[in-house]
């Protein structure tokens, strides 16, 4: 069970209230508690918290405000604020928030702290699990989120391609999965020229991480995660403001590993494969240049329109390899385009697929898991924008329009044989803290996709 949860015979009660229910809720409290709440101007607005004392001054009760059921929008992770508000101790819910399962998960997610380099006070509040919840499943999700967050939050000096490979290998060993890794110039020998091109300027060799797990007779599910451990932009150098959080550019790989951990821990009936092209996009005399042309694993020659559009290049070779196996479901995740952030912001990653059933299932699980995703179109009239005058296609066509869509269309060129394909353009980062989502690296899309896979292959 997750450390945020604790079985106990006694606990301080937490009561949820909304502005419209506060009068009713307060009527159930002792008179002294009602007077204390009034004196503190407690009105149960969302996120408002009040600790009610007993006669001896000890903590007797907690009341916490959440959105009204009639509100246009309700943050189902609102209870994730509680670990940062409550003093150390054991607590329990006395009534139901809007979604008790998500509230309990939010409590665990809100307890996360990144402590590798500086001691941060880990919340001492513990929650007695509400009745009827699958705590194994909630712990599985919270642990996976912590894995993704830890990997993303680790700076690039300690999370380069080799360290990312070590993390993947440790995960593979934990679940008895097969692990292999193609490193450096061996990428050229084994026909992964785009991965090599992006990573060759770094002193830390590029590599392709490959994990396989599960019964070979089960449906093939392949996950591909962008593992750019730091992105300078290459010779199309990013400004300092754009480079500041580029340690997160391996967020696709981190979330793929989090998703793989959940799949393997739950023993889903799939033959899982995980592919992570792990590179550092650096500046050096041998860095790849604008208008260079490189072959790809698929045999398509790619002209470099912009060296800062490197993520789609490394994913292209990995997707081509994945596609050769004709998987039943091929999923890629990557922190790919600023255009996705302009369109949908940091909290709402777009996803792309031509499989209507898959699209509906993704959207449904994104809603039920409070793991937001929004479908965007693979708009084929824009496919011609990828044309090159000197090669088969250009990785970054000129112009400021539809950047996330053209990235998806670029990747689509490398997927032909998979039965279904899903592409998710995540951000992998929470810019400012929100309930259950501390500032920093974030697990995005993994929980929704895991629940989809659980439904299909559980």
What residues act catalytically? Answer: 238, 312
- Asked if residues 289 and 237 have their Cβ atoms less than 8 Å apart, the reply is no
Longest dimension (CA), the chain: 81
Question: Smallest Cα–Cα separation from 46: which of 23, 77, 6?
Answer: 77
- DSSP conformation letters of 19-45: TTTHHHHHTTS-HHHHHHHHHTT----
Look up tokens 């712990």; give the residue. Answer: 139
Structure token pair of residue 323: 């596609």
Residue 280: strand pairing partners: 230
- Asked if residues 445 and 365 have their Cβ atoms less than 8 Å apart, the reply is no
- DSSP conformation letters of 326-388: --SEEEEEE---HHHHHHH-TT--EEE-S-HHHHHHHHHHHHHTT---EE----GGGGGGG--
Chain centre distance of CA 150: 12
For residue 327, which phi and psi values (nearest 5 degrees)? -65, 155
Q: Strand runs (DSSP E) across 26-177, as ranges?
A: 49-53, 59-65, 89-93, 125-127
3-state secondary structure of 160: coil
- Asked if residues 425 and 350 have their Cβ atoms less than 8 Å apart, the reply is yes
Question: Smallest Cα–Cα separation from 208: which of 161, 265, 150?
Answer: 161
Structure token pair of residue 435: 């309930």
Structure token pair of residue 353: 């697929």
Structure token pair of residue 281: 């996009």
Residues belonging to the chain: 458
């Amino acid at each position: 069970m997750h450390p945020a949860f604790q079985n106990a015979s006694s606990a301080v009660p937490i009561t949820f209230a909304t502005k419209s229910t506060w009068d009713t809720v307060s009527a159930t409290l002792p008179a002294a508690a009602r007077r204390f709440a009034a004196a503190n101007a407690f009105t149960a607005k969302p996120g408002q918290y009040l600790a009610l004392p007993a006669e001896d001054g000890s903590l007797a009760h907690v009341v916490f405000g959440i959105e009204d059921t009639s509100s246009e929008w309700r943050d189902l992770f609102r209870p994730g604020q509680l670990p940062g508000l409550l003093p150390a101790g054991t607590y329990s819910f006395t009534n139901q928030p809007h979604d008790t399962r998500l509230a309990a998960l939010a409590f665990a997610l809100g307890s996360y702290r990144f402590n590798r380099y500086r001691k941060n006070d880990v919340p001492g509040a513990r929650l007695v699990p509400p009745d009827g919840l699958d705590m194994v499943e909630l712990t599985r999700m919270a642990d996976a989120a912590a894995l993704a967050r830890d990997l993303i939050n680790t700076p690039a000096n300690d999370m380069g391609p080799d360290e990312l490979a070590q993390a993947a290998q440790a995960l593979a060993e934990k679940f008895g999965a097969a692990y292999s890794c193609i490193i450096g110039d061996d990428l050229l020998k084994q026909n992964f020229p785009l991965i090599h091109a992006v990573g060759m300027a770094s002193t830390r060799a590029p590599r392709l991480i490959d994990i396989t797990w599960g019964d070979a007779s089960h449906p093939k599910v392949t996950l591909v995660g962008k593992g750019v451990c730091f992105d300078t932009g290459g010779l199309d150098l990013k400004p300092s403001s754009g480079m500041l959080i580029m340690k997160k550019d391996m967020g696709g790989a981190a979330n793929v590993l989090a998703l793989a951990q959940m799949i393997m821990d739950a023993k889903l009936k799939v033959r899982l494969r995980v592919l992570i092209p792990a590179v550092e996009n650096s500046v050096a005399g041998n860095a790849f240049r604008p208008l260079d042309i490189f072959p790809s694993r698929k045999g398509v020659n790619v002209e470099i329109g912009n060296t800062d559009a490197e993520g789609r290049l490394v994913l292209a070779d990995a997707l081509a390899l994945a596609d050769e196996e004709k998987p039943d479901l091929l999923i890629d995740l990557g922190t790919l385009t600023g255009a996705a952030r302009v369109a949908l912001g940091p909290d709402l990653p777009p996803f792309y697929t031509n499989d209507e059933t898959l699209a509906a299932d993704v959207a449904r699980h994104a809603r039920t898991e409070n793991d937001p995703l929004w479908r965007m179109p693979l708009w084929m009239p824009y496919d011609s924008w990828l044309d090159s005058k000197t090669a088969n296609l250009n990785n970054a066509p000129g112009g400021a329009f539809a950047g996330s869509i053209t990235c998806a269309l670029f990747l689509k060129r490398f997927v032909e044989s998979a039965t279904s394909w899903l592409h998710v353009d995540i951000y992998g980062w929470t810019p400012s803290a929100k309930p259950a989502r501390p500032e920093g690296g974030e697990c995005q899309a993994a929980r929704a996709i895991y629940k989809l896979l659980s439904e299909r292959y559980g």
